[in-house]
Amino acid sequence: MNIIDELKWRGLVNQTSDEEGLKKLTEKEAIALYCGMDPTGDSMHIGHLLPFMTLQRFAKAGNHPYIVIGGATGSIGDPSGKKAERPMQTMEQVDHNVEALSSQAKRIFPSFTMVNNYDWTAQIGILDFLRDYGKLFNVNTMLNKEIVSSRLETGISFTEFTYQILQSLDFLTLYRQHNVKLQVGGGDQWGNLTAGLDLIHKAEGQDAEVYALTIPLLLKADGTKFGKTAGGAVWLDSKKTSPYEFYQFWFNQDDRDVINLLKEFTFLSKDEIEDLAEKVKTHPEKREAQRKLAEEVTTFVHGEDALKVAQKITEVLFSGEIKELTTAEVAQAFNGVPSAEITKDEINLVDLLIAANVDKSKRQAREDIQNGAIRINGERLTDTTLMIDPSTSFDGKYIVIRRGKKKYFLAEIK
């Protein structure tokens, strides 16, 4: 299957500047292509993941992907999809984010070539910029781009207005220096991508063979945007979103969404995905498709060891055998659950439930204990007079409390 046909089957093609031309080019030769990422933060989230996984599909087909980290464009701010100006970052913050994102991207996509657009943009003086590049952009055309026109009512600064020139310069530079012929981006980047095509054709001639491809905005079956949770973004940095939380995010996807997500976020074959689709229809309760999705994406982003830890935590929480977890695994498993700090001193079980905000009153705490609703580190306790020694569990750092079947609380020992 041609790479463009595969992308279409997977639902990864939103717009292309010339689909037939791009398909013929990829059948004729291996190409260099790129996707950019501005350093607005110090970690990617799963919204960034899909374009780069699309580049990985091109790599598997023998092509050469580049990632452009926007050390220059990130200091300006992309107006796309924003109702107001982005807060301007300091250059120190931009540099920190560039370093963090570059390290992260190299770990996840080791075969890609990484470049920073600050390296070529910083060398251009203001007069050269205006004469060599600004002259090639028509203001009327720029105003008609959706990324700009959507901001005209609320206002847009000249700084953000010129963003599409800088991004276009990236494409021109990569075309000249590395023969890059395709830019991939999200659906909201179409105006910036086509501006890059226009610049190359004006600077290098209309016969320059360059293309643009955007990926659709991902929506769930209920119409909401994919990738957000009640806690916010799902990050690729394990310190921001633990591998266990990451695994659970994918495992908990709706039956209506899981097959599309397998197509978009895994490298499973068409036959494998169609087999899982059949299992969703016949035995949805087994959640085999969700489990496979979680395994594939967690391994791709965090590696096999992290997957094994996430699976272990999942199994332990299901069985209730909390003592099987290590201290580090407890921290990962219960990140985000209600928590409170307690001292290292021995504490009565009733008082512990109050201190950890498990119960609001001693009367309720005693009832929960006597009714068998309380487990401490996986062990059911029914004696209200029992004293708990915090030093005996998880290196003296945590006590895990469960009330009922599913409600967990964490006492952190200070």
The CA-based diameter of the chain, rounded to the nearest angstrom, is 85
Q: Are residues 203 and 116 in the same domain?
A: yes
Partners of 387 in the β-ladder: 348
pTM of the model: 0.89
Q: Is position 220 within any domain?
A: no
Domain boundary at 319, 354, 375, which? 319
Q: Is 175 annotated as a binding residue?
A: no
Strands 64-69 and 232-233: unpaired
User: How is the chain split among helix, strand and coil, in percent rounded to 5?
Assistant: 50, 15, 35
Domain boundary at 191, 215, 239, which? 215
Q: Are residues 64 and 138 in the same domain?
A: yes
CATH code at position 293: 1.10.240.10
Q: Are residues 59 and 180 in the same domain?
A: yes
Residue 317 CB-density burial (10 A; 0-12 exposed, 13-18 middle, 19+ buried) = buried
Q: Is position 369 within any domain?
A: yes
Residue 247: what pLDDT?
97
Where does residue 388 fall: left (phi above 0), alpha (psi -120 to 50 degrees), or beta otherwise? beta
Q: Is position 222 within any domain?
A: no
Q: Is 183 annotated as a binding residue?
A: no
Q: Are residues 129 and 265 in the same domain?
A: no
Residues with a known catalytic role: 40, 45, 48, 82, 86, 167, 188, 225, 228-229
Q: Is position 324 within any domain?
A: no
C-alpha span between 242 and 306 (Å, rounded): 9
Give 85's DSSP letter. P
Q: Are residues 197 and 302 in the same domain?
A: no
What is the domain extent for residue 177? 3-215
CATH code at position 44: 3.40.50.620
CB count in 10 Å sphere of residue 222: 8
Residue 187: what pLDDT?
87
Q: Is 133 annotated as a binding residue?
A: no
What's the structural domain count of the chain? 3
| Tokens describing residue 177 | 């220096």
Residue 229: what pLDDT?
63
| Tokens describing residue 348 | 């009565």
Q: Is position 347 within any domain?
A: yes
Find, among 92, 57, 90, 77, the residue nearest to 166 by Cα: 77
| Mean pLDDT, 10 residues at a time, the chain of 414 residues | 94 96 96 95 93 97 96 84 74 94 96 96 93 90 79 80 91 97 93 94 96 92 74 89 95 96 97 97 96 98 96 91 93 90 93 95 95 94 94 93 92 93
Q: Are residues 63 and 7 in the same domain?
A: yes
Q: Are residues 211 and 108 in the same domain?
A: yes
Q: Are residues 244 and 204 in the same domain?
A: no
Q: Which one-letter amino acid corresponds to residue 262?
A: L
Q: Are residues 345 and 404 in the same domain?
A: yes
Domain boundary at 215, 247, 274, which? 215
Q: Is 167 annotated as a binding residue?
A: yes
Q: Are residues 295 and 363 in the same domain?
A: no
Q: Is position 326 within any domain?
A: no
Residue with tokens 């959640």: 287
Residue 149: what pLDDT?
79
Q: Are residues 395 and 264 in the same domain?
A: no
Q: Is position 298 within any domain?
A: yes
Residue 80: what pLDDT?
67
Residue 82: what pLDDT?
63
Q: Are residues 257 and 121 in the same domain?
A: no
Residue 202: what pLDDT?
95
Q: For residues 95 and 71, is the Cβ–Cβ distance under 8 A?
A: yes
Q: Is position 332 within any domain?
A: no
Q: For residues 368 and 330, is the Cβ–Cβ distance under 8 A?
A: no
For residue 234, the SS3 value is: coil
CATH code at position 405: 3.10.290.10
